[in-house]
Chains A and B, each alone.
Chain A
Amino acid sequence: MRHLFLLTLGVAVFGCSQAAFSQQSGPANTDPTPAISNNLLGLPPVPVPANNPQTPAKIALGDKLFHDKRFSIDGTISCSSCHDAGKGFTDNLPVSVGHGGLTGTRNAPTVINAAFSKSQFWDGREPDLEGQSKQPFVNPVEAGLANHQPILDIVRSDPEYKAAFTEVFKVSGQQLIMDHVSKAIASFERSIVAGNSPFDRYYFKGDQTALTEQQQRGFQVFLAQGRCVSCHTIEQDHALFTDSRFYNIGVGINAIQQDVPRLAQAFLEAKARGGDVDQMVLTDKKSSELGRFAVTDGFNDLGAFKTPTLRNIALTAPYMHDGSLKTLKEVVTHYNNGGVTPVGAQVNAFLSGGIRPLNLTDAQINDLVAFMEALTSEQYAKSRPATGAQ
């Protein structure tokens, strides 16, 4: 029964997302039997805002903008600098490096499947990709521009951009504004979606051979004693491996526990004076650790960060919002310790309720890591970097 249902659904998903899907070069585009190697297997329909529909030309324009290094203060940084397709659309660094070698405070999240996120950035401070894609250009430790004007100057004068924006948005000159740029980038990012991992073939297609025995054991740990699935969710007909919520899991904030009263107050004062949250959290390591509190001012969100998807997680080491854990094994060990690294360190007062010691054995931890390695989409399986999970 489930297989029949899933087969129907798989076709429906494919149909819905064809606009996004058809833009990707690669095997999917030319495969004569897409229902068999459906790269979206296990994903829900891609949510596309009504005011920014996907078109092939818009996605191509976004692709070009995404890779353009001219949109930075010294001509060295593009979106793809930190979201490199060859590194699972991350940079495989603990925290991203901007112009002049400046470092921020947070680990570059993958663009793959960011289209499904209900909010963007680790602290969810932007609701969508359109809002998100404007920020790094003008962040002092990323592309470093003072404002968006240099970008507009280029896209309004460069012949290729002029032609593309005219075709896609029917705008030119002064009518061409940053919203058009961000919409094109967002459309490109919405085309970077990938399911069809060994897990998807195992779970949604019933292919018992898709996972190794160790991975199947790891899946049981994922569902039961590891309690992973509580937040890294799997639905009946799809799996995003994230609930899009925010939790304090004892990363980052553990190091500033004694400072929280002072930092929280200082941050709110700076915000009240008109400070920009995006700049404050990326330029000050300690403020960064306040997490979503910086966005909501709520006690509940102290030290809380967004649940990331686990899809393609083996490609995107190092891990956590600050890149502080090098391997998936270190991540599982952190949870097994009840939200502290190393074991025995002081648990922070604002730790989310579900985080507690798991009493996993070393074998269970290894099984769980093996399971997470089965979440790599077929189309990225060949590009896994040496720095991936051990």
Chain B
Amino acid sequence: MNSINHSRRNFLKTGGALALGSTLPVSLVELAFAEPSQNFTFAYISDAHIQHIKGNRFVRNWDRGLIRAVAEANLLTPKPDFVMFGGDLAQLGSQAELDHGAEIMSALSHKVHYVMGEHDYYLDLGAYWEKLFGPQYHSFDHKGVHFIVLNSIRTYDDWTYKRWPTAEQRMIEMAGLDNPNGSPFMVGEEQRKWLKADLDKVAVTTPIVVFSHSPLQKIYKGWNFWTEDAEQIQTLLKPFKKVSVIYGHVHQIQYNQIGNISFNSVMATAWPWPYPASYAQAEQYLPKLTVPMNRADPFFERDATGWQFINIANGNVDLNFTLYNNASRVVRFDNAKKHPEDKDYQPESTRIDPQRHY
């Protein structure tokens, strides 16, 4: 909480009477547009992996992580305009898991948009999820920003429809890491056609924010930190002046800039993944811009998990990570360098050992 605290204190020191009625990380909400009524922030919770044991029993750790994120998001002042959920609400896509996750999420006092994750999808290909949360891909406009939600975790039809004797086995095969039976994620032709048509209606000066579960860039195939048709999506987004892609799935802080597109990952509430660079049994392309998170202290069961709230500043996104039992981090778009940058950890000399030895 340090950075948030300090910013807030600074604000309170100078804010005087303005400070009344504005408490939590209010000072981080920057001007998005000249018109103050257009300022906004939204919260982002992701990768809860609610896991059913049997009967009414669910894995307590994952429940607690999501419950806490929801409770903390409800403390944001001023209130965020909406909340995103970044996918993998469930672990094995069952109705029990999706229902239980939706119940925990219902404590949010905000409108929520959901992104599909592979753990939500591969049991019934999103049928029950759609009943709870709406279409698998769609777009919406909010205060001058065009938001796009994609289902980026589909794969080849042959794998999805012809390969597995049961839906349960299909789900489990896709849930594994380093699984030779797995298959790379992709947005797919159907959605690419829809995306092109959707973007055709948007002015190139309109800021675009794309939500996907997998990174719309290629980082590490073995763990599906990967989207097979990433380049084709990037090409569709190329004409626009300001584009941000925000993805879940990786359970760690990553950021990158490819041409006009800024990439940011969000945290999981369930558990942390290591960085692929620390494992790298196959070629990996962890973005050079990314400064790794410091390693989780195993004493703290929630360390290296968390959630984030996101400010739309001048059409670019700034991510404010709330990390349990750890120093909060802020990744902001640097207007001079034209890419996202960590507010605190950037110089090599300021890094600490737990960041180098993840």
Question: A residues within 8 Å of B by Cβ?
Answer: 230, 260-261, 264-265, 268-269, 272-273, 296-300, 347, 349-351, 353-354, 356
Let me know if B355 is at the binding interface, CB within 8 A.
no
B60-68, B110-118, B310-318: which lies at the interface = B60-68
Residues B1-37 near A (CB distance < 8 A)? 1, 5, 8, 12, 19-21, 23-24
Let me know if A353 and B300 touch, CB within 8 A: yes
Beyond A265-B23, A300-B324, A353-B302, whether A260 also contacts B75 by CB under 8 A is yes
Let me know if A269 and B301 touch, CB within 8 A: no
**A141, chain B: closest CB distance, angstroms:** 26
Let me know if A349 and B5 touch, CB within 8 A: no
Q: Which residue of A lies closest to B324 (CB)?
A: A300
Residues B71-126 near A (CB distance < 8 A)? 71-72, 74-75, 77
In Å, the complex CA distance between A353 and B305 comes to 11
Beyond A265-B77, A269-B21, A298-B5, whether A354 also contacts B301 by CB under 8 A is yes
Let me know if B71 and A296 touch, CB within 8 A: no
In Å, the complex CA distance between A273 and B22 comes to 12
How many residue pairs link A and B with beta carbons under 8 A? The number is 59
Q: Which residues of A contact B61 (CB under 8 A)?
A: 353
Let me know if B322 is at the binding interface, CB within 8 A.
yes
Which are the 7 A-B pairs with shortest beta-carbon distances? Answer: A353-B301, A349-B71, A298-B1, A268-B23, A353-B302, A272-B12, A272-B19
Beyond A273-B20, A349-B71, whether A299 also contacts B301 by CB under 8 A is no
Q: Which residues of B contact A269 (CB under 8 A)?
A: 19-21, 23
**A271, chain B: closest CB distance, angstroms:** 9
Q: Which residues of A contact B21 (CB under 8 A)?
A: 269
In Å, the complex CA distance between A272 and B12 comes to 7
Residues B293-337 near A (CB distance < 8 A)? 299-302, 322, 324-325
**B320, chain A: closest CB distance, angstroms:** 12
Q: Which residues of A contact B68 (CB under 8 A)?
A: 349-350
The 25 sampled A-B contact pairs (Cβ below 8 Å) are A264-B23, A268-B23, A268-B24, A269-B19, A269-B20, A272-B12, A272-B19, A272-B20, A272-B23, A296-B1, A297-B1, A297-B5, A297-B8, A299-B75, A299-B324, A300-B1, A300-B324, A347-B64, A349-B68, A349-B72, A351-B64, A353-B64, A353-B300, A353-B325, A354-B299
- Which of B8, B21, B61, B299 counts the most A-chain CB atoms under 10 A from its CB? B299
In Å, the complex CA distance between A300 and B20 comes to 23
Q: Which residue of A lies closest to B322 (CB)?
A: A299
Q: Which residues of B contact A354 (CB under 8 A)?
A: 299-301
User: Which of A260, A298, A353 is within 8 Å of B71, CB to CB?
Assistant: A260
**A64, chain B: closest CB distance, angstroms:** 40
Let me know if B70 is at the binding interface, CB within 8 A.
yes
Q: Which residues of B contact A260 (CB under 8 A)?
A: 71, 75
Let me know if A349 and B324 touch, CB within 8 A: no
Q: Which residues of A contact B325 (CB under 8 A)?
A: 300, 353
In Å, the complex CA distance between A179 and B60 comes to 49
In Å, the complex CA distance between A333 and B138 comes to 50
**A343, chain B: closest CB distance, angstroms:** 15
Q: Which residue of B lies closest to A264 (CB)?
A: B75
User: Which of B19, B70, B299 is within 8 Å of A230, CB to CB?
Assistant: B299
In Å, the complex CA distance between A380 and B304 comes to 44
**A243, chain B: closest CB distance, angstroms:** 9
User: Which of B20, B71, B77, B299 is within 8 Å of A350, CB to CB?
Assistant: B71
In Å, the complex CA distance between A230 and B300 comes to 10
**A247, chain B: closest CB distance, angstroms:** 10
**B329, chain A: closest CB distance, angstroms:** 14
Let me know if A349 and B77 touch, CB within 8 A: no
In Å, the complex CA distance between A205 and B278 comes to 45
**A358, chain B: closest CB distance, angstroms:** 12
In Å, the complex CA distance between A313 and B20 comes to 43
Beyond A230-B299, A296-B5, A349-B67, whether A261 also contacts B12 by CB under 8 A is no
Q: Which residues of B contact A265 (CB under 8 A)?
A: 23-24, 75, 77
In Å, the complex CA distance between A268 and B11 comes to 13
Q: Which residues of A contact B64 (CB under 8 A)?
A: 347, 351, 353
**B15, chain A: closest CB distance, angstroms:** 8
**B117, chain A: closest CB distance, angstroms:** 23
In Å, the complex CA distance between A194 and B302 comes to 35
Q: Which residues of A contact B60 (CB under 8 A)?
A: 356
User: Which of B20, B74, B299, B302 is within 8 Å of A261, CB to CB?
Assistant: B74
**B130, chain A: closest CB distance, angstroms:** 29
In Å, the complex CA distance between A230 and B301 comes to 12
- Which of A268, A272, A296, A351 counts the most B-chain CB atoms under 10 A from its CB? A272
Q: Which residue of B lies closest to A257 (CB)?
A: B71
Q: Which residues of B contact A268 (CB under 8 A)?
A: 23-24
In Å, the complex CA distance between A387 and B249 comes to 54
Q: Which residues of A contact B23 (CB under 8 A)?
A: 264-265, 268-269, 272
Q: Which residue of A lies closest to B2 (CB)?
A: A298
**A263, chain B: closest CB distance, angstroms:** 10
Let me know if B1 and A299 touch, CB within 8 A: yes
**B127, chain A: closest CB distance, angstroms:** 31
Contact pattern, B 143-155, Cβ under 8 Å of A = 1, otherwise 0: 0000000000000
Q: Which residues of B contact A296 (CB under 8 A)?
A: 1, 5
**B230, chain A: closest CB distance, angstroms:** 35
**A258, chain B: closest CB distance, angstroms:** 11
**B100, chain A: closest CB distance, angstroms:** 15
**B105, chain A: closest CB distance, angstroms:** 13
